[in-house]
Amino acid sequence: MNDRSLMQAPGQDPRQGWVDAYMPDGQPVGHFEAPRPLLDLSVIRGMLYRQRWLLAGVIVASLIVGLIVTLLATPMYEARATVKVEPYGQYIVEGQDIEGGIASNQVFDFLQTQIAVIQSRNLATTVVENLNLGERDAILGADFDESRPPNMSDEQWAKTRKEAAAGRLQSSVTAAIPDDNWIISIGYRSSDPALAAELANGYADAFAVSDTANSLETNEYAQEYLLDQITLVRGRLEEAEEATNNYARSAQIIVQPGEEGGAGPTTLTSTNLASANARFSQARAERIAAEQKWRAIQNAPADQLPAVQTNSVLQNLVSDKISKENDLVELRQRYNDEFPQIQNLLQQIAILDRQIEERGNSIKASIRNDYIVARNQEQALQAELNSLTGETLSEQDDQVQLSVLEREAEALRGQLESLLTRYNQVSSAANVDTGAFNKLDSAVVPSTPYAPSLSVNLTMALVAGIALAGGLALLRETFDDRIRSLEEVEDKLGLPLFGQTPYVDERDIEVFGNDFSTLMESYASIRSSIDFSLSRDRNVLQFTSTEASEGKSTTAVILAELFARMGRKTLLIDADLRRPTIAKLLDIEKPKVGLVEVLLGHTELENAVIKGVHENLDILAIAEIPASPTELLSESYLGEMIAKYRNDYSLIIFDSSPVMGLADAPMLSRVVDGTIFVMEANRIQFGKAKAAKRRLQASGAKMLGVILTKYRALEAGQDYSYQYSYYQYGDNKE
């Protein structure tokens, strides 16, 4: 096959998914494969069309099943009661807010939790106990007692009935989460409408009461907990106070209350220290004053001391001495010292001097004694202060531990006071409960069932049917490898496609004479493709197929006639030595001599061909079917005949037998210039077609291309107009 086999006739591109490439000057470069989309709608459309009866059957069957299930199902009723939710509550007295508040972004979680509570087994058990459902047959049925084990006691059986009733309740109750309000709808489904309403109301009542009971239990638990804590803290406080007192006694720390408006309580040691320090300071000041006073008069004469000069007794003595001296002076003016009165005055004056000196020395000595006393007092107070300072420092070390004990006791006092306050609040609010859940509307007995719903069941059946049908269709498509589309011919077989012919019923093949029929237009396009791909020196063609009845002979006849109409002298040879069909297709009388006789040399070709069917067209049919077609084709007769008559005709066409199961077509392919493979769309499986191709190539066949016959555009996934719009071009249609 030369390079021109890749080129197509004008107006026809049988290969799908290919595009033309051009140079900037407009000259064509070649044909290139265009990228295919990830989701090929044509493939899906083709699959849906091919499996349409399966899809329709499965979907209709699913709808019928849905209808039957709806008609046979037991009517179910649903009753609903509503409960108002107040998550934030209303607190009347302190102590009601035992539980923590709910944040605004947690309201949905809170409501979701309540839905889970409603659907819990615990609440179902509560409803069973409230409505005495364990002893009733409304839930369990009258035949439930038949399953009682023979060795089970009445108490155990009653418990088993309650658990079974709770399980059935739990599976039938529903609760809806509100979208834009805080009202929970509680529903119950049952085949008995009255029972559904009763159980819906029972659930609503139990749910509302459960919140109140939980609140009371919470308050009761809070009281018990607070009372336990109060007892515990009181005991710890007593121990702490006793430990503080014992430590103060052992450390001999005596605490005195502080003065009003002054500092806090003080210890006796610190008070004594402060007193001693004050007295020491005073004594020290007095000692300093006495010492200064003594130092000032220590070396001065006594009569010059201010204290002496201001002493009234000394002043009297001095005055008396002066008076005596004045008297002495007067007497000495008249008498001498021997005068007795003078002697008496001298003695008195001497006595007064002695008294004045003694008194002055006594006053000076008293000042010195005051200094010594002050000094001694200071020293004594210094010793006392030192002693008290040491005791105070030691006491401060003890007070550190005492302070720790006192702080612990004080903390326990505060904790005890807080617990007592909280206990009083909770005790006051123990019997006050507003409830976060309050029943709003009671359930009424439903008048119509909610299930079965014909529309819902049919919709579900339709969806299930579509899914099942799609799965079965996909499964069938997976295991079906028949070649249907134009793309699959080149993709799977690797051979160029000359073209395709539309599917035409056998009763309509009489349109050979209508040159503008869709069938003839398609064969005209195929003829152009073949003619364009062949060189003049390669004029011997073989038409074969995988199996019989694929349109091989019809294709050979029509193409031979079309080539003859072009003015090319054509020889059509019926080479199917087992089931010849050319004469039948052309509706001509079976000849007396044919291909077999020509091959064996019993007659010349001119004597065996049938003329007059069409101008420039000779037909070499088969007169008698040989006993051994394979042996006849294996000899050199066929090659010699082709070589002998090649130049007498512009084109020689062999209509050979199918490939599978026979050796005729592979043997014939050795001597012809090219083999054209005819395939029927939507029939031949890829495995068989590939095997036929391998057999031909193994025999040395020169595969020119493929013609796809009986092509159904819809089964290939193409639009109906895709196949026929070109061939109907030019029709006068309004």
Q: What is the DSSP string of 447-464?
A: SS--BS-HHHHHHHHHHH
pLDDT digits (tens, 9 = 90+) for 702-727: 988 898 888 776 666 565 555 444 44
- 490-724 to CATH, choices 3.40.50.300, 1.10.3720.10, 3.30.1490.20, 3.40.309.10: 3.40.50.300
How many residues does the structure list for the chain? 734
Mean pLDDT for the chain overall: 77
Question: What is the rounded distance in angstroms from the CA atom of residue 627 to the CA atom of residue 13?
Answer: 44
DSSP summary character for residue 93: S
Question: Strand 570-575 vs strand 497-502: parallel, antiparallel, or unpaired?
Answer: unpaired
Residue among 448, 440, 450 nearest 189 (CA): 450
Which residue in this structure is represented by tokens 């080129």?
7
Question: What is the rounded distance in angstroms from the CA atom of residue 709 to the CA atom of residue 522?
Answer: 10
Confidence category of residue 305, pLDDT binned at 50, 70, 90: low
Question: What is the rounded distance in angstroms from the CA atom of residue 662 to the CA atom of residue 297?
Answer: 167
Beta bridge partners of 575: 656
Question: What is the rounded distance in angstroms from the CA atom of residue 649 to the CA atom of residue 538?
Answer: 11
Query: According to the model, what pLDDT value does residue 727 have?
Result: 45
Cβ-Cβ contacts under 8 Å for 252 (sequence gap 6 or more): none
Question: What is the rounded distance in angstroms from the CA atom of residue 685 to the CA atom of residue 689?
Answer: 6
pLDDT digits (tens, 9 = 90+) for 113-131: 888 888 899 989 999 888 8
pLDDT digits (tens, 9 = 90+) for 360-397: 777 777 777 887 888 888 788 788 778 777 767 766 66
Element housing 21 (H / E): strand 18-22
The pLDDT of residue 505 is above 70: no
Q: Does domain 79-214+436-441 have CATH number 3.40.50?
A: no
For residue 350, what are the CA distances in angstroms to 327, 354, 355, 395? 14, 6, 9, 66
Query: According to the model, what pLDDT value does residue 4 have?
Result: 37
pTM (2 d.p.): 0.48
Question: What is the rounded distance in angstroms from the CA atom of residue 577 to the CA atom of residue 633?
Answer: 9
Average pLDDT estimate for 146-167: 87
**CB-CB contact of 482 with 685 (8 Å):** yes
Question: Phi then psi for 188, rounded to 5 degrees?
Answer: -135, 140
pLDDT digits (tens, 9 = 90+) for 636-668: 778 888 888 888 898 999 998 888 878 888 888
Question: Strand 437-441 vs strand 77-85: parallel, antiparallel, or unpaired?
Answer: antiparallel
CA angle 507, 510, 513 (to 5 degrees): 160
**CB-CB contact of 511 with 517 (8 Å):** yes
Burial class (CB in 10 A: 0-12, 13-18, 19+), 647: exposed
Residue among 278, 276, 270 nearest 396 (CA): 270
pLDDT digits (tens, 9 = 90+) for 250-263: 766 776 565 554 44
